[in-house]
Amino acid sequence: MESEIVVGLDIGTTKIAALVGRRTEHGKIEILGIGKAESLGVARGVVLNIDETVRSIKDAVAEASNKSGVDIKVVNVGIAGQHIKSLQHRGMKTRRSLEDEIGQKDIDELIEDMYRLVMSPGEEIIHVIPQEYIVDSETGIKNPIGMAGTRLEANFHIITGQVAAAKNIYKCIAKAGLEAADLTLEPLASADAVLSDEEKEAGVVLVDIGGGTTDVAIFHDGIIRHTAVIPFGGNIITEDIKEGCSIIKTQAELLKVKFGSALASENQENEIVSIPGLRGRPHKEISVKNLAHIIQARMEEIVEHVYYEIRNSGFEKKLIAGIVVTGGGSQLKHITQLLEYVTGMDTRVGYPNEHLAASSEEITSPMYATGVGLVMRGLQLSQRQKASEEKNTTQVLNHSKKTKGGWFDQIFSKGKQWFDEDPGN
């Protein structure tokens, strides 16, 4: 049986993408339609112009709606930006009874408590992710459900962001006539789309190079250990090319996409690209090797930031699966070689096709990793909500049966008593 339809909305710096998807009977994700619009009101992952962002959202959603034949009302949105921070925190709950087993309710209460932590002014908690549990000083427990114990503790990875940034996203969604089902940190969504469970278990770094930001997420033992958002991406490389070659932005972007390379040593000296001049001015000749030097200088800076985050996480020596690079920036030639050269870690490009049912080449592009991940997260959320609704319905039915039974028995026994009494007495 096929699941309900879910929409992922990736509000990026370069593009806004809406992906409509559902889970097939084989557990794969089928993308029914995709809509893309140029993102004009977003810079470095943060909404700066609400009206322009709303326009772009409407365009992307309308295109996705036409292609999929689905009337889109609810979306699952991603959040990124330099304001995203992460911290580690330990929570504790003392249970009343040693007899009762630890249940999902105990874990939910512990997580709920974390959302009440006092943050700096203007910040709010976006995600609370349990890392490991401790039951009565017994450490290293991944799932405590079913265990006995009075003291339940957990180490949490807490991701925070600016209240204003989140509010602006919600405002844009509402003004576009939509409703946001959930707000997800973009590197977590990308990780769902391009990483395998084995990689997360072995230890892996996800590097998502977008237009305005580069997102980093580090996993080990199947658990997220570190997250960071670096405020540089593909757009800054385009700016460097524009300045370095004295050309306009659209030409710089085309040069980067068609002839760009992250390693100058991989290019021949004699390769020249000719660019038409503006308004009758003479053509400009640009060496592909010089272009690669410009790109490599900036790319090395971004990779150094990534490597700093890897060292900062404390997991540098435990990442057996190396680096998985995704996002639009991962399509740059020789990007994996540059990452390997700077970090000394194995690197591959992450395509979001692992969880997708047969789909077009466009959708399996790394630039849609976040969008595919948001669809996956939306499907997981709706599944959890359904399960919890069914559980509540069952509890209500069982409760009403009990009370109904008691009420009926009382009436029946009263009636029986009344009939049993001898009217002659």
Domain extent for 104: 85-160
In which residue are the tokens 């949490």 written?
156
Q: In the chain, pLDDT over 70 holds for what percent of residues? A: 92
Grade residue 414 by pLDDT with cuts at 50, 70 and 90: very low
| Count: domains in the chain | 2
Tell whether 421 is covered by a domain. no
Domain check: are 238 and 118 in the same one?
A: no
Same domain? 207 vs 320: yes
Distance CA 244, CA 380 (A): 46
The residue with greater pLDDT, 281 or 66, is 66
d(CA 237, CA 252): 9
* Domain-located, residue 268: yes
213 and 153 co-located in one domain: no
Is 299 contained in some domain? yes
Within-domain flag for 279:
yes
Q: Does residue 270 lie within any of the structural domains?
A: yes
Q: CATH no. for residue 283? A: 3.30.420.40
Question: Considering 132, 160, 188, which residue would you say is the last residue of a domain?
Answer: 160
Judge whether 131 and 109 are in contact, CB under 8 Å.
no
Place of tokens 């409760």: 399
Give the residue from 295, 328, 350 where a domain finishes.
350
Let me know whether 272 and 141 are in one domain: no
Six token digits for residue 137 = 């000083």
> pLDDT by residue (tens digit) across 383-405?
888 877 777 777 666 655 555 45
271 occurs within a structural domain: yes
pLDDT tens, 141-174? 999 999 999 999 999 999 999 999 999 999 999 9
Residue 412 is predicted with a pLDDT of 43
The secondary structure of residue 195, as a DSSP letter, is: -
- Residue 396 has a pLDDT of 65
Query: Average pLDDT, stretch 279-287?
Result: 86
263 and 205 together in one domain = yes
**Confidence check: pLDDT of 407 > 60:** no
Same domain, yes or no: 209 and 106: no
Residues 297 and 237 in one domain: yes
Same domain, 156 and 243: no
Q: C-alpha distances in angstroms, 69 versus 61, 65, 100, 394?
A: 11, 5, 50, 35
* 99 and 146 co-located in one domain: yes
- Whole-number percent of the chain with pLDDT over 90: 75
**Looking at the predicted structure, is the pLDDT value of residue 240 above 50?**
yes
List beta partners, residue 208.
215, 326
Say if 181 falls within a structural domain: no
Angle between the N-to-C axes of helices 50-68 and 163-175, in degrees from 0 to 180, rounded to the nearest 10: 50
Over residues 271-279, mean pLDDT: 85
Q: Determine the pLDDT at residue 395.
A: 67
Judgement on whether residues 240 and 318 belong to the same structural domain of the protein: yes
Residue 180 scores a pLDDT above 90: yes
Type of residue at 81 = G
**419 — pLDDT class (breaks 50, 70, 90):** very low
At 25, give phi and psi (nearest 5°): -65, -20
Mean residue pLDDT of the chain comes to 89
Same domain (yes/no): 106, 207: no
Considering the domain boundaries, does residue 26 fall inside one?
no
pTM here is 0.88
CATH of the domain at 116: 3.30.1490.110
pLDDT at 416: 46
Higher local confidence (pLDDT), 251 or 418: 251
**Residue 345 and residue 211 in one domain:** yes
CA distance 273 to 312: 41
